[in-house]
């Protein structure tokens, strides 16, 4: 029996045009979805479950009721059950920092004792890219960040991984289990949920937990980090835009390209 | 206690550029704090590295000789020991792939608040860090209430430290607990070889997420052929398996510097820009006038690539 925990996050995508409201983006311009990196982590876990005899995949998230839809989508793709942590204390926190997330996931890990934990490299919204490794250290698990290939040898207790370094170089690393791996996009092709999967997901459990349920108090999520300002970056652009309809704009671009010798025989 | 400890990055025998950017960021912060800048280099040929790291603004270089390549378990233990010895106010680390493999563990181990991917740092009684959110759509300021703290910095945001310093080099002994080293690097591999070397091309036509569907890639292939250009792409196209890895431009792909870089349906995320901003002329076609690609483009069309590209193909096919 092997247990895989996938930590996931629902994140907001911002529309092309948006309005700021203090240190937030006005909710009217946000669309919520599963974090892209986490989708690859879920696929990795589900593939392990399909390849193994007795693998349970559990998904955990921190977020309000709205996130149930996202968790449900993970269940529809083959995750066995979900855990969602939320309460009034969490709702009142503006920016949940890495330490706070670590406390929460660490409490879940103590309860679930997974053999392997998968999470996305980073969240699209705040892009801290730190939760997975921080959680690993707190839980006493080994880890590897930015993994783009995984060959798990559960019997030997080793994950053979590739870490995607900069500049087209991959590092081959052996990681002792139990471990946390942060999963990079492109490691696999995340599936779409099937209709059957969506139906089955309706019957799967999403356990709701509060900080109290996890044995944590308010102090555990008190952040040392505050978001004090949000603004649109100043454009340093001196781009020359070709105006007009597609024909006119393309013709202008074509003449610039020709001036630069493109297309010359 | 008002010092800065900056931990540098190296790989396969070379210091990475961000090491010298860390020195610049660290020297500024140390000046604001009224303290010293300690630079630490861990593993590899530390004596050679120490000589290279002795730039203006560095007060001491600490060397930890242990193994050749990066191992996060070794780094975490070494930084923990350095922190105990030096009691710095700030630990600066790189927001590189390896930085992200140890910085969160360091912060957790030492119970420090952590801010990652900083693009600006200022200190005026408290620390303020500038960073982006929502894929560069907005910039934010985060304030850190307590000291000491840990920050990772984004590459290419600070200048590389220059000049020669006169910093003493202090070999720092750490007894590494080998039982806590539970991962082993077994090798490296260059990826993205194959039929085409996009770093050789004079003209690149690069396709991004805006292409929407695999079958539409053909349209951009046609454009590249009409222009006598080489086809490249941004990350999502390779992640989707629509083009092979050797076509990928960006931080984790190739760094290209062609005469002309035509970005079609590419928004210009920071990881992509890191791979192509050195191009002589950058041209962008994108529906979103606020897309960051227009910040670095010389020419642009705000429009639908499916309208513009066929006309452009016609222009060059006749």
Nearest Cα residue to B259 out of B293, B288, B233, B230: B230
Strand-strand pairing, B260-264 and B203-207: parallel
Chain A residues within an 8 Å CB radius of B138:
14, 20, 25, 230-233
Which residue among A13, A14, A225 sits closest to B142, beta carbon to beta carbon? A225
State residue A264's pLDDT score. Answer: 67
Nearest Cα residue to B202 out of A169, A253, A264: A264
Choose the mutation target among A163, A181, A224 for the interface with B, i.e. most B CBs under 10 Å. A224
Average pLDDT value for chain B:
95
Nearest Cα residue to B12 out of B190, B237, B255, B272: B190
Q: Is B177 on the interface with A (CB under 8 A)?
A: no
Is the pLDDT score of B220 beyond 70?
yes
Cβ-in-10-Å burial (0-12, 13-18, 19+) of A263 comes to middle
Is the pLDDT score of B179 beyond 60?
yes
Query: Is residue B196 within 8 Å of B230, Cβ to Cβ?
Result: yes
Chain B residues within an 8 Å CB radius of A236:
295
**CA–CA separation, B58 and B161 (whole Å):** 9
Which residue among A227, A240, A254 sits closest to B315, beta carbon to beta carbon? A254
Q: Tell me how far CA of residue B25 lies from CA of B6, B63, B98, B118, in angstroms.
A: 9, 20, 19, 10
Query: Is residue B96 within 8 Å of B21, Cβ to Cβ?
Result: no
Contact B299 A164 (CB under 8 A): no
Which residue among A17, A164, A262 sits closest to B228, beta carbon to beta carbon? A262
**pLDDT tens, residue by residue, A91-143:** 998 889 999 999 999 999 999 999 999 999 999 999 999 999 999 999 999 99
Is the pLDDT score of A12 beyond 90?
yes
State residue A235's pLDDT score. Answer: 76
Q: What is the mean pLDDT of residues B288-309?
A: 95
At B193, is the pLDDT very low, low, confident or very high (cuts 50, 70, 90)? low
Give the DSSP H/E element, type plus range, for residue A220: none
**CA–CA separation, B84 and B78 (whole Å):** 10
**pLDDT tens, residue by residue, B75-117:** 999 999 999 999 999 999 999 999 999 999 999 999 999 999 9
State residue A27's pLDDT score. Answer: 92
Chain A residues within an 8 Å CB radius of B255:
167
Structure tokens at A231: 């603004």
Is the pLDDT score of A265 beyond 70?
no
Which residue among B182, B298, B309 sits closest to A239, beta carbon to beta carbon? B298
State residue B97's pLDDT score. Answer: 97
Q: Is B189 on the interface with A (CB under 8 A)?
A: yes
Residues 60-119 of A with CB under 8 A from B: 95, 97-99, 102
**Residue A90: CA count within 13 A, CB half-sphere:** 19
**CA–CA separation, B61 and A13 (whole Å):** 43
Contact B182 A145 (CB under 8 A): no
Is the pLDDT score of B194 beyond 80?
no
Residue of A nearest to B108 (CA): A134
Residues 163-192 of A with CB under 8 A from B: 163-176, 182, 185-186, 189
Q: What is the DSSP string of B164-199?
A: ---PPEEE------GGG--EEEEEEEE---SS--GG
CA distance A203 to chain B (A): 31
State residue B192's pLDDT score. Answer: 66
The CATH number of the domain covering residues in B4-180: 3.40.50.620
Is the pLDDT score of B211 beyond 70?
yes
Query: Is residue A118 within 8 Å of A181, Cβ to Cβ?
Result: yes
Contact A251 B142 (CB under 8 A): no
Chain B residues within an 8 Å CB radius of A159:
none
Chain A residues within an 8 Å CB radius of B182:
142, 175-176
State residue A234's pLDDT score. Answer: 82
At B9, is the pLDDT very low, low, confident or very high (cuts 50, 70, 90)? very high
Residues 187-246 of A with CB under 8 A from B: 189, 224-233, 235-242, 246
How many other CB atoms sit within 10 Å of the CB of residue B91? 27
Kindly give the residue spans of alpha helices, DSSP state H, lying in chain B.
18-33, 46-53, 72-86, 99-109, 217-227, 235-239, 270-273, 293-296, 305-317
State residue B318's pLDDT score. Answer: 67
Q: Tell me how far CA of residue B112 lies from CA of A65, B16, B172, B272, in angstroms.
A: 31, 26, 22, 31
Contact B189 A170 (CB under 8 A): yes
**pLDDT tens, residue by residue, A27-83:** 999 999 999 999 999 999 999 999 998 999 999 999 999 999 999 999 999 999 999
Measured CA angle at B5 (ends B1, B7), to 5 deg: 165
Residues 100-119 of B with CB under 8 A from A: 100-105, 107-109, 111, 113-117
**pLDDT tens, residue by residue, B29-53:** 999 999 999 999 999 999 999 999 9
**CA–CA separation, B50 and B169 (whole Å):** 7
Q: Is A142 on the interface with B (CB under 8 A)?
A: yes
Structural domain spans, chain B: 4-180, 198-317
Contact B100 A256 (CB under 8 A): no
CA distance B152 to chain A (A): 10
Q: Tell me how far CA of residue B148 lies from CA of A110, B103, B156, in angstroms.
A: 29, 14, 25
Contact A225 B241 (CB under 8 A): no
**CA–CA separation, A146 and A221 (whole Å):** 26
Q: Which CATH architecture has domain B198-317?
A: 3-Layer(aba) Sandwich (3.40)
Per residue, the 3-state secondary structure of A160-191, as one string, reads EEEEECHHHEEEEEEEECCEEEEECCCCCCCC
Is the pLDDT score of A85 beyond 70?
yes
Taking the alpha carbons at both ends of chain A, their separation in whole angstroms is: 65
Structure tokens at A50: 């399909």
State residue B110's pLDDT score. Answer: 98
What 8-state DSSP symbol labels residue B70? -
Which residue among B141, B229, B288 sits closest to A229, beta carbon to beta carbon? B141
CA B219 to chain centre: 32
State residue B135's pLDDT score. Answer: 86
State residue A16's pLDDT score. Answer: 84
Coil, strand, or helix at residue B256?
coil
**Residue A199: CA count within 13 A, CB half-sphere:** 3
State residue A93's pLDDT score. Answer: 87
Give B299's strand partners. A240, B283
How many contacts, defined by CB atoms under 8 Å, are there between A and B? 262
Structure tokens at B309: 């590209």
ipTM of the complex, rounded to two decimals: 0.95
CA distance B90 to chain A (A): 15
Q: Tell me how far CA of residue A65 lies from CA of A7, A230, B77, B272, in angstroms.
A: 16, 26, 40, 35
Q: What is the mean pLDDT of residues B119-126?
A: 96
Q: Is B237 on the interface with A (CB under 8 A)?
A: no
Nearest Cα residue to B265 out of B199, B203, B213, B316: B213
The CATH number of the domain covering residues in A2-221: 3.40.50.620
Structural domain spans, chain A: 2-221
Taking the alpha carbons at both ends of chain B, their separation in whole angstroms is: 71
**CA–CA separation, B106 and B116 (whole Å):** 12
**pLDDT tens, residue by residue, A158-190:** 999 999 999 889 999 999 999 999 999 999 999
Query: Is residue B192 within 8 Å of B248, Cβ to Cβ?
Result: yes
Choose the mutation target among B15, B72, B108, B131 for the interface with A, i.e. most A CBs under 10 Å. B108
Structure tokens at A251: 């013709």
State residue A78's pLDDT score. Answer: 97
**pLDDT tens, residue by residue, A212-263:** 999 999 999 998 999 999 999 887 789 999 999 999 999 999 999 999 999 8
């Amino acid at each position: 029996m092997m247990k895989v925990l996938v930590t996931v996050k629902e994140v907001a995508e911002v529309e092309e045009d948006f309005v700021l409201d203090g240190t937030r983006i006005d909710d009217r311009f946000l669309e919520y979805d599963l974090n892209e990196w986490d989708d690859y982590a879920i696929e990795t876990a589900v593939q392990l479950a399909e390849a193994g005899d007795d693998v349970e995949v559990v998904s955990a998230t921190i977020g309000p009721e709205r996130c149930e839809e996202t968790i449900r989508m993970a269940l529809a793709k083959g995750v066995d059950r979900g855990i969602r942590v939320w309460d009034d204390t969490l709702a009142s926190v503006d920016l949940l920092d890495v330490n706070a997330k670590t406390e929460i996931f660490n409490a879940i890990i103590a309860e679930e004792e997974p053999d392997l934990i998968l999470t996305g490299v980073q969240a699209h919204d705040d892009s801290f890219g730190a939760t997975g490794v921080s959680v690993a250290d707190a839980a006493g698990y080994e880890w590897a960040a930015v993994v783009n290939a995984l060959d798990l040898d559960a019997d030997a207790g080793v994950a053979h991984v590739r870490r995607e370094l900069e500049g087209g170089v991959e590092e081959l690393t052996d990681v002792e289990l139990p471990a946390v791996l942060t999963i990079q996009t492109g490691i696999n092709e995340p599936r779409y949920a099937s209709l059957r999967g969506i139906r089955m997901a309706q019957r799967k459990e999403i356990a709701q937990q509060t900080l109290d349920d996890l044995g944590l108090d308010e102090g555990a999520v008190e952040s040392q980090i505050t978001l004090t300002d949000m603004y649109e970056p100043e454009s340093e652009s001196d781009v020359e835009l070709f105006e007009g309809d597609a024909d006119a704009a393309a013709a202008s671009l074509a003449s610039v390209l020709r001036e630069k010798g493109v297309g010359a025989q | 206690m008002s010092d800065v400890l900056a931990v540098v990055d190296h790989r396969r025998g070379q210091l990475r550029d961000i090491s010298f950017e860390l020195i610049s960021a660290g020297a500024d912060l140390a000046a604001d704090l009224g303290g010293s800048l300690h630079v630490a280099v861990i593993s590899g040929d530390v004596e050679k590295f120490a000589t290279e790291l002795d730039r203006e603004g560095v007060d001491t270089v600490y060397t930890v000789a242990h193994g050749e390549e990066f191992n996060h378990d070794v780094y975490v233990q070494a930084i923990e020991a350095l922190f105990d010895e030096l009691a710095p106010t700030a630990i600066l680390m790189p927001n590189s792939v390896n930085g992200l493999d140890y910085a969160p563990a360091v912060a957790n181990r030492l119970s420090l608040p952590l801010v990652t991917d900083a693009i600006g740092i200022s200190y005026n009684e408290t620390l303020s860090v500038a960073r982006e959110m929502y894929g560069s759509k907005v910039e934010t300021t985060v304030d850190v209430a307590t000291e000491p703290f840990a920050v990772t910095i984004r590459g290419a945001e600070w200048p590389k430290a220059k000049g020669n310093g006169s910093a003493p080099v202090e070999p720092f002994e750490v007894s590494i607990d080998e039982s806590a080293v539970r991962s082993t690097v077994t090798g490296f591999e260059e990826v993205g070889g194959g039929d085409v070397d996009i770093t050789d091309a004079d003209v690149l036509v690069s396709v991004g997420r805006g292409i929407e569907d695999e079958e539409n890639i053909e349209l951009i292939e046609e454009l590249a052929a009409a222009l006598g250009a080489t086809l490249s792409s941004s990350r999502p196209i390779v992640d989707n398996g629509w083009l092979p890895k050797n076509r990928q431009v960006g931080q984790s792909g190739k760094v290209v510097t062609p005469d002309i870089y035509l970005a079609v349906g590419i928004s210009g995320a920071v990881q992509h820009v890191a791979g192509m901003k050195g191009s002589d002329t950058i041209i962008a076609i994108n529906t979103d006038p606020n897309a960051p690609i227009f910040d670095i483009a010389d020419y642009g069309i705000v429009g639908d690539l499916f309208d513009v590209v066929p006309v452009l193909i016609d222009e060059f096919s006749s």
